[in-house]
Amino acid sequence: MAKLVAPHGSDVLKPLLLPENERAAAQKKAENLKKVPMTTRETSDLIMMGIGAFTPLDGFMGSVDWKGICERYQMPTKNDLFWPIPITLSATTQLADSIQVNEEVALWDTETDTIMGSMIVTEKYTIDKAYECQQVFKTTDPEHPGVKKVMEQGGYNLAGPVKVFSESYYPEMFADIYQRPAEARAIFEERGWNTVAALQLRNPMHNSHAYLAWVAIEVCDGVYIHQLVGALKPGDIPAEVRVKAIDALVNNYFRKERVLQGGYPMEMRYAGPREALLHAVFRQNYGCSHLIVGRDHAGVGNYYGPFDAQRIFNEIPPGSLLLQPLCMDWTFYCYECGTMASMKTCPHDSKAVIDDQGNYQGGARLLLSGTLLRKLMSEGKPVPKEFSKPEVIAILKEYYDSLDEKVEVKLHRAATGDK
């Protein structure tokens, strides 16, 4: 009988999605409540609470927890439970002034014009946005997509317990891979898996990702290829295209009994090390014992060192997580070794040289990254065959060929290996 890791801070999952037979009445009541518009990030966080992925949260956080998390990764209202990033709901000053404490409000997704849930407002408070950004993102640069989102929030945060009515379009749009934590756990248990390594993906799966997954399968019972299907920044590849590309690789190059694909609805914050910790928290809720943490996990631009997300697991309070990081070094294709390798295994230091036609010209290490792949594809340049499987490249080429307008993809140090 499989013995999976327990959910975070709880013996059981705590999904906040109302039972189906209660939703119609709750929705009808909410239509007469004051509406609080949510950003795409706030909507995705609400859904994560709804499906139990953010166990044991019961709603959007108040000021005490906001401060405790920013300062020391702890929620004072939950016996100093470890939590790495504030989960908050913002409102304009005008709207916050119109809402009374203990008033019930409707949570409105403006993107789909849907009331997604309701909340009893227990607190209204202001925050130092620059302070949150510095603590969570390690920068206040408005060019950082996560910082930009926080700085554009309304002047107040609203806190309180929530009821969730909907999972939006995710269950239908991503029917083949969308999974709630309870569903993933049931499959792991059915397969008899005790140890499960999660592979976080927001890019199509290239050969470095596949190599990390194969290594994880060697030391765990199975690997959970867990794809983000929430919102991304401009220039990233849409979820439906990524899902198709990853399917092609997994179906052709993995033993099916050792891999499971899943999709989750959270929006990327690009918070680097802190986001790696959040990924660990909700992967534990999904039943994973390990999280693969490779180069530049959840990073963007040059804001984080390539292995900052690994080091942060050694800096958090002991006992914060049951899940453990599975730290992997930089991986690449080595022409001298004739195979995929890593900085720990390959003795050849020179960087591979590839011409404009995608042909190998010399050197050893071909450094692979999702950013570099997107740049090559967006500019119509050939991709070396060692970079990814032909089935994946064909799907991505079809997508990029269909674009009328391409977003410029900028390379950063974590993608090129430059100092």
User: Annotated catalytic sites, by residue?
Assistant: 202-203
Distance CA 119, CA 161 (A): 6
Secondary structure class of 211 (helix, strand, coil): helix
Supply 414's token pair.
Answer: 């974590």
C-alpha 172, offset from chain centre: 20
293, HSE (Cβ side, Cα atoms, 13 Å): 28
Distance CA 326, CA 280 (A): 11
Looking at this protein, which amino acid is placed at residue 100? Q
Q: Which residues contact 46 (CB under 8 A, 6 or more apart)?
A: 38, 107, 116, 117, 162, 164
Q: Which residues contact 215 (CB under 8 A, 6 or more apart)?
A: 328
Q: Which helix (H) or strand (E) holds 157?
A: strand 156-164
Give residue for tokens 């992967």: 283
**Among the listed residues 379, 387, 385, 384, the one whose alpha carbon sits nearest the alpha carbon of residue 403:** 379
Relative orientation angle of helices 370-378 and 390-402, to the nearest 10 degrees: 50
Strand-pair partners of 131: none
C-alpha 124, offset from chain centre: 28
Q: Which value, to the nearest 10 degrees, does the dihedral of the CA atoms of residues 212, 418, 306, 85 take?
A: -130
- 137, 302 Cβ separation under 8 angstroms: no
- 273, 303 Cβ separation under 8 angstroms: no
Distance CA 405, CA 234 (A): 12
Strands 123-125 and 156-164: antiparallel
